[in-house]
């Protein structure tokens, strides 16, 4: 497939500031109601005095962060702060209280039932669901002797476009794995009213057994009570050998077939720089999936979008090797063939000296006029920062595919 014509590229900063670090729209989401837009991501105060302050570990950035919503009422031209939820700097006991984790009733090894919840009709046009992660699960000892609590995947529902959120959130309890990790905009509402969400399970449920190979399992969970409780539905992909997969995102193609996009890498590669994109399909509404097929290399955290005219656009970050930046590929035949890649934004540091550039984790949505808005985590090469890179912000890029 020849490269499509990409035009009307326009950049806007959605979030960030001199003393803020903004990460991972892929751990938040993107929603649109006409010209009203909402983007969720993870944010923390940061003085940028040391590189460890912006790393991905729960001990550093994670321990200071919270989930932030930012809203635009003018089609993405200007943005303002919305809700701030789940502060991670609170003691573990306080985080568990916020999530009402100890109010759940354990009915079996994998089955937990939620406490009383607000009645929200998730089929309403104004309803939305935002998922996140908190580090307040089972406490485990690390090899260096320190302790760390497992991740807990929570979900807040809203009946009014995220202006107010329910007090008691839901928990997606892991199935066959130690934890379940949420990803952005990771749910769909079926015609029947059933909700499906896709998660990445990680780790041995009995502990950190090195010999246990199923480190990453991409799974579907279902809810038949408007997102109050979630039950395991099916496994999209898991490999017990050398490959790992994460960042699942499911879209429904014009034919009715479901496609899941996966970011993959080789587990033997400790540096995890060789990343690639694969896709798989389901013809029975997510019960069974084909084996993933690799379609692109040097791509991290890919995010698919089906446009109103039926094309599939996958947006991804090229973190290594240089040239780094945000890129996209397009398919006009439901993923059978793909265009060459095209660059959306290359204004970021190159891969050296670390060997890769941090950033990406995009989400995307189509506007009423046919343009696509991609929101992603980004850094420029700020001269006043004492290392290779800069402040972490949330950028937005509008573009049109002809």
Domain ranges of the chain: 6-401
In the prediction, which pLDDT does 211 show? 44
User: Across the beta sheet with 128-134, what order do the strands follow?
Assistant: 128-134, 152-158, 170-171
Q: What is the mean pLDDT of the chain?
A: 91
Question: 158, 207, 205, 156: which is closest to 180 by C-alpha?
Answer: 205
Give dist(CA 385, CA 55) in Å, integer: 15
In the prediction, which pLDDT does 212 show? 45
Range list of β-strands (E), 172-242: 179-181, 187-189, 195-202, 216-223, 231-238
Is the domain defined by 6-401 classed in CATH 2.120.10.10?
yes
Per-residue pLDDT tens digits for 112-144: 778 888 999 999 999 999 999 999 998 887 777
Q: Which stretches of the chain score pLDDT less than 50?
A: 210-213
Give dist(CA 89, CA 101) in Å, integer: 17
Per-residue pLDDT tens digits for 156-214: 999 999 999 999 999 999 888 888 999 988 999 999 999 999 999 988 776 555 444 45
In the prediction, which pLDDT does 1 show? 57
In the prediction, which pLDDT does 213 show? 47
Task: Name, in order, each residue with C-beta under 8 angstroms of 174's C-beta and a sequence gap of 6 or more.
Answer: 110, 153, 180, 201, 205
DSSP letter assigned to residue 101: G
Give dist(CA 384, CA 381) in Å, integer: 9
DSSP letter assigned to residue 178: S
DSSP three-state, residue 171: strand
Do the Cβ atoms of 37 and 31 come closer than 8 Å? Answer: yes
């Amino acid at each position: 497939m020849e490269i499509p014509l990409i035009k009307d590229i326009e950049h806007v900063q959605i979030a960030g500031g001199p003393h803020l670090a903004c990460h991972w729209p892929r751990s938040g989401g993107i929603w649109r109601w006409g010209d009203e837009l909402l983007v969720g991501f993870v944010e923390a105060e940061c003085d940028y005095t040391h590189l460890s302050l912006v790393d991905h570990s729960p001990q550093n950035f994670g321990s200071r962060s919270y989930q932030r919503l930012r809203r635009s009422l003018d089609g993405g031209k200007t943005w303002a702060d919305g809700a701030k939820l789940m502060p991670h700097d609170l003691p573990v006991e306080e985080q568990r209280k916020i999530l009402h984790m100890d109010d759940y009733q354990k009915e079996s090894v994998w089955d937990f039932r939620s406490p009383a919840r607000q009645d929200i009709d998730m089929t309403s046009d104004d309803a939305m669901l935002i998922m996140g992660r908190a580090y307040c699960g089972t406490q485990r000892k690390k090899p260096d002797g320190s302790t760390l609590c497992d991740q807990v995947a929570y979900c807040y529902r809203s009946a009014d476009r995220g202006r107010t959120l329910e007090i008691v959130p839901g928990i997606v309890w892991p199935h066959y794995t130690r934890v379940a990790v949420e990803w952005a905009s990771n749910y769909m509402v079926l015609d029947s009213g059933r909700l499906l969400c896709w998660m990445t399970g990680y780790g041995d449920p009995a502990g950190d057994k090195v010999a246990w190979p199923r480190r990453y399992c991409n799974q579907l969970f279902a809810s038949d009570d408007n997102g109050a409780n979630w039950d395991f539905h099916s496994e999209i992909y898991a490999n017990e050998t050398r490959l790992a997969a994460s960042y699942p995102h499911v879209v429904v193609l014009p034919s009715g077939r479901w496609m899941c996009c996966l970011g993959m890498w080789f587990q033997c590669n400790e540096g995890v720089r060789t990343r690639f994109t694969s896709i798989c399909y389901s013809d029975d509404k997510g019960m069974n999936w084909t084996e993933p097929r690799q379609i692109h290399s040097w791509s991290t955290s890919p995010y698919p979008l089906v446009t109103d005219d039926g094309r599939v656009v996958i947006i991804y970050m090229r973190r290594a090797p240089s040239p780094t930046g945000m890129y996209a590929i397009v398919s006009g035949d439901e993923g059978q063939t793909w265009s060459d890649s095209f660059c959306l934004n290359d204004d970021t540091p190159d891969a050296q000296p670390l060997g890769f550039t941090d950033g990406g984790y995009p989400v995307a949505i189509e506007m009423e006029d046919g343009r696509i808005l991609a929101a992603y985590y980004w850094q420029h090469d700020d001269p006043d920062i004492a290392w290779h890179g800069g402040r972490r912000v949330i950028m937005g890029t509008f573009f049109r595919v002809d």
